[in-house]
Amino acid sequence: MSTSDNSGLSLQHITVRFGGLLALDDVSLRVSPGRVVGVIGPNGAGKTTLFNVVSGFVVPQSGAITLDGRAFRPRPHQLNRNGIARTLQGVGQFNGMTVLDNVLVGAPKRTGEDAAFEVLERCGVAEHAYSYPALLPYAKRKRVELARALVARPRILMLDEPAGGLDTDEIAWLAELIREADMTVLLVEHHMDLVMSVCDEILVLDFGKPIALGTPGEIRNDPKVTDAYLGAAA
Ligand SMILES: Nc1ncnc2c1ncn2[C@@H]1O[C@H](COP(=O)(O)OP(=O)(O)OP(=O)(O)O)[C@@H](O)[C@H]1O
């Protein structure tokens, strides 16, 4: 798809302060349709804050957000309606509900069980549909969390540290899912092999400041990034 138009999500000069702390300092990022965009950086760099801005949990002090060229004021309860779905760090399921019902919670109103099963199947957890999240191993619960986000067929999927706590095989599965999803993805992740293998473009934050934006190859070879982060993470 063309990237010269204004489709997709665009963050322009976003600044967020928590009291005296500058959590995001003039951050701009374009997430064009069909692209997988990663956000990396050391702990406390502002990655989750950036996600919270796009989700409407944090309102920036300055800057603008547009969705398909139109001004966008994110609100958490309207994300689905705007075609955006987000997974949480770790897993955030309702333990009193079955896996199937947990997935249906993330679905638009008229979504039937068939659609929920389809996405559970795709995530390899359909056999657990009538079980409860708390009874499943962590990796399976993370798959349920993904299914819950995917069932809404979002135009933009936001993944917050999806590889956290997963083993190599699970991460390889996740990489395959992201590559094959044919979806716009915004990914916050510390696992560099995953980031480098699935992202088209990567934004690097350090103390809230954007220090680099480029392809995985450009980021890997950027001395600023190595100094701030990759030297320690790789
Ligand atoms: N609600 C808040 N109130 C005050 N400070 C906050 C709040 N949320 C985040 N911060 C601070 O803002 C900075 C950025 O935090 P953020 O969680 O966005 O970083 P991060 O890059 O996601 O870190 P991590 O990799 O550890 O998840 C940190 O210094 C953090 O302590």
The string of pLDDT tens digits covering residues 41-99 is 999 999 999 999 999 999 999 999 999 999 999 998 888 888 999 887 655 677 788 99
Percent over 70 (pLDDT), the chain: 94
ipTM exceeding 0.90, yes/no:
yes
Main-chain phi, psi angles of 85, to 5 degrees: -130, 150
- 24 and 70 co-located in one domain: yes
Tell me if 21 sits within 8 A of 73, measured CB to CB. Answer: no
| Distance in angstroms (rounded) separating the CA atoms of residues 104 and 120 | 11
Q: Among 153, 177, 194, which residue terminates a domain?
A: 153
Cβ burial, residue 230 (10 Å; 0-12/13-18/19+): buried
Q: Is the CB of 94 under 6 A from ligand 1?
A: no
Q: What is the pLDDT of residues 132-187, one digit of tens each?
A: 988 999 999 999 989 988 988 899 999 999 998 899 999 999 999 998 888 899 99
User: What per-residue confidence (pLDDT) applies to 87?
Assistant: 82
Q: How confident is the model at residue 114 (pLDDT cuts 50, 70, 90)?
A: confident
- 104 and 69 co-located in one domain: no
Q: Among 118, 134, 153, which residue terminates a domain?
A: 153
Ligand 1 atom at minimal distance to the Cα of residue 19: 4
Residue with CA at minimum distance from ligand 1 atom 1: 18
- Supply the range of the domain harboring residue 222: 1-83+154-234
Q: Is the CB of 8 under 6 A from ligand 1?
A: no
By most ligand atoms within 8 Å of CB, the mutation choice from 14, 25, 27, 48 for ligand 1 is 48
Tell me if 54 sits within 8 A of 79, measured CB to CB. Answer: no
Q: How many whole angstroms from 81 Cα to the centroid of ligand 1? A: 27
- Tell me what the pLDDT averaged over the chain comes to: 89
Q: Is the CB of 87 under 6 A from ligand 1?
A: no
| Distance in angstroms (rounded) separating the CA atoms of residues 72 and 182 | 23
- 125 and 173 co-located in one domain: no
User: What per-residue confidence (pLDDT) applies to 94?
Assistant: 74
pTM for the model stands at: 0.90
**Structural domain count of the chain:** 2
Residue with CA at minimum distance from ligand 1 atom 26: 43
Q: Is the CB of 45 under 6 A from ligand 1?
A: yes
Residue with CA at minimum distance from ligand 1 atom 7: 18
- 125 and 199 co-located in one domain: no
Count of H-run helices and E-run strands, the chain: 9, 10
